[in-house]
Amino acid sequence: MTPQLIQQRSLWVERLARFGYAAKGVVYAIVGILAAQAAFSIGGFSADTKGALSAIVTQPFGKILLSLVAIGLIGYVLWRFIQAIKDPEHEGTDTKGLAKRLSYAANGFVYGSLALSAISIVIGSGSGGNSNSTQDWTGTLLSQPFGQWLVGTIGAGVIGLGFYQFYTAYKAKFCKKMDLSEVSDSQQNWIIAIGRFGLAARGVVFCIIGFFLIQAARQ
């Protein structure tokens, strides 16, 4: 394979990854809007990722927009699998590196499911976004032997993940994956502050989810 062909493939992979991250950003921005609407008792969609997909499809040219989001999510999934298999970030094959790469693969499967949901909504076979899948799987787990312990353990793990988000926000580890050399100091400060705020907000959400899972297990 010639260096030129390798460079072209790398460029396409980069573009696919960028498009995927943009699609992911669109989905979570809409989740935030739906959550704000829910806080003020307006809006008719659940404030989760599937509710966001359903909200997109109801807009003018909604199927076209949601198709683009689905393509972007597929790109994000492919990038996660590339990270897991090809290891372009050189995580390595030690315990920490393998754990990181496995997390990339797991993330790919999660967003693969979301991409399939988007596709099913586009072709008309998806749900309207008002069902609560979290309640469904929580109820299923609780009905199993030792279900209360299992749900409680998952809740504690989610809270731990939330605190890890706080730690990541404090350390600003996301800066390692960003090239800030071409922006001014004030712009760098704004980018870092926004990144920290986003991670901290994500940590709060995880802690709340974990708390409710533990409450579900107790009750």
In this prediction, residue 46 carries a pLDDT of: 66
Q: Give average pLDDT by consecutive 10-residue segment, the chain, 219 residues.
A: 59 79 84 74 67 81 86 88 84 85 88 87 64 64 78 87 89 78 83 88 86 84
Domain span at residue 213? 132-219
Report the 10 Å Cβ neighbour count for 213.
Answer: 22
Q: Which has the closest alpha carbon to 51: 124, 126, 110, 108?
A: 126
The domain total for the chain is 2
Query: Do 36 and 114 lie in a common domain?
Result: yes
In this prediction, residue 62 carries a pLDDT of: 82
Query: Do 102 and 49 lie in a common domain?
Result: yes
H or E element that contains 70: helix 62-85
Instruction: Identify whether the C-beta of residue 214 lies closer than 8 Å to the C-beta of residue 157.
Output: no
Query: Do 162 and 125 lie in a common domain?
Result: no
In this prediction, residue 166 carries a pLDDT of: 92
Whole-model pTM: value is: 0.68
Out of 72, 100, 131, pick the residue that ends a domain: 131
In this prediction, residue 130 carries a pLDDT of: 47
Query: Do 19 and 121 lie in a common domain?
Result: yes
Distance CA 195, CA 42 (A): 28
φ, ψ for residue 89 (rounded to 5)?
-95, 5
